[in-house]
């Protein structure tokens, strides 16, 4: 018996090759099937009514289109939704759907667990299990879109895992979502968030894939950042900033920096001045993020007064920034709170 083709793993060209090569079909059949899957959210070939009954049967026997299984859903008081998905091997990840001013943003996971072990984040507490495939990443998006009953406007690769440590699958999933014959999601509606994986940043620049780039910074110097984020020992700030300068020389794109506000750790006035000096010469925007409590964490959220004082210094230095509005923290769906098992 031939092995099943996993349909969500196929990009558009692969769909055409599979249908022409394996089934002897005309190329336009790929357009029909991709429209059913990516635009109508129909994953059962028997429901694809513009295909003959015979063809539907053949495809159902040979190709599987299987988004992850929803095992739990929670809704925040602010409308944020958190989903726990299970894949074919029983592994699970969480992803989030944010509602803001009528727009929907999907926050997708790229790995089961996370290998980076940032000291403030829940995702790495259970360790790293495996990378997600491109189809497993895309499947989260399609399943959320079907549940929402409407188009999702934006995608952020900012769930569990480090996207640039699963670069091949992440780049392929972006290609699939962006393809006009498939989902047709605008490339500038997609953001990759990284903890500072230098080779990934350079690869993104070389790929000429003009998604937006966000960098989790969280500290203005190597000593402090290495305590918070062990990956800084491998890619210290000098190498990270050099990679970002090279990235911007290629793309001309502004970078967003995420800065988690931790009481008495990185929220002092001198940290604000140091941050401004560190980033001088780059085109950037800073999100100041009130810390979302994680079980077992030694950190506390900066007070509103400290965050405001930090923000005021950045304003005096003419640095574009905002204080991120808290969303989904009451269901542990905010930044740094996602885990493999929903409590």
Residues assigned a catalytic role: 94, 335
Torsion of CA 167, 169, 173, 179, to 10 degrees: 90
Torsion of CA 30, 35, 38, 40, to 10 degrees: -150
Q: From residue 260, how far is each of 53, 109, 230, 339 by CA, in Å?
A: 55, 20, 16, 18
Distance between CA atoms of residues 239 and 258, nearest Å: 18
Q: From residue 129, how far is each of 11, 41, 90, 92, 123 by CA, in Å?
A: 25, 29, 12, 10, 11
H-helix segments, 149-214: 167-178, 198-207
- Residue count of the chain: 343
Torsion of CA 302, 305, 308, 313, to 10 degrees: -100
Contacts of 90 (CB under 8 A, 6+ apart): none
213 is written with which tokens?
């780039």
154 is written with which tokens?
């934006």
Task: Let me know: does 74 contact 82? Beta carbons within 8 Å.
Answer: yes
Q: Rg of the Cα trace of the chain?
A: 21
Task: Let me know: does 56 contact 23? Beta carbons within 8 Å.
Answer: no
Distance of CA 177 to the CA centre of its chain: 13
Contacts of 182 (CB under 8 A, 6+ apart): 11, 12, 34, 37, 38, 176
């Amino acid at each position: 018996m031939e092995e099943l083709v996993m349909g969500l793993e196929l990009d558009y060209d692969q769909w055409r090759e599979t249908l022409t090569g394996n089934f002897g079909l005309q190329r336009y059949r790929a357009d029909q099937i991709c429209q059913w899957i990516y635009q109508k959210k129909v994953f059962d070939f028997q429901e694809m009514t513009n295909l003959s009954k015979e063809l539907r049967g053949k495809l159902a026997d040979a190709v599987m289109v299987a988004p992850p299984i929803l095992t739990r859903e929670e809704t925040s008081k602010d409308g944020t939704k958190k989903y726990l998905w299970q894949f074919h091997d029983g592994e699970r990840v969480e992803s989030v759907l944010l509602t803001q001013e009528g727009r929907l943003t999907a926050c997708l996971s790229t790995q089961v667990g996370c290998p980076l072990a940032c000291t403030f984040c829940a995702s790495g507490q259970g360790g790293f299990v495996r990378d997600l495939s491109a189809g497993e990443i895309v499947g989260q998006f399609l399943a959320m879109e079907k549940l929402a009953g409407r188009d999702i406007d934006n995608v952020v690769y900012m769930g569990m895992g480090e996207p640039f440590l699963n670069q091949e699958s992440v780049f392929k999933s972006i290609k699939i979502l962006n393809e006009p014959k498939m989902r047709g999601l605008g490339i500038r509606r997609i953001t990759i968030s990284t903890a500072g994986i230098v080779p990934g940043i350079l690869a993104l620049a070389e790929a000429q894939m003009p998604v937006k780039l966000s960098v989790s910074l969280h500290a203005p110097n190597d000593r402090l950042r290495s305590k918070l984020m062990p990956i800084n020992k491998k890619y210290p700030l000098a190498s990270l900033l050099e990679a970002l300068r090279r990235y911007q020389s290629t793309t001309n794109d502004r970078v967003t920096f995420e800065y988690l506000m931790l009481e008495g750790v990185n929220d002092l006035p001198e940290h604000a001045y140091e941050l401004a000096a560190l980033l001088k010469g780059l085109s950037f925007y800073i999100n100041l993020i009130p810390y979302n409590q994680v079980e077992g964490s030694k950190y506390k959220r900066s007070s509103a007064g400290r965050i405001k004082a930090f923000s005021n210094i950045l304003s005096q230095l003419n640095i574009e920034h905002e204080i991120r509005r808290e969303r989904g923290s009451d269901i542990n769906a905010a930044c740094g709170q996602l885990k493999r098992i929903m409590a």
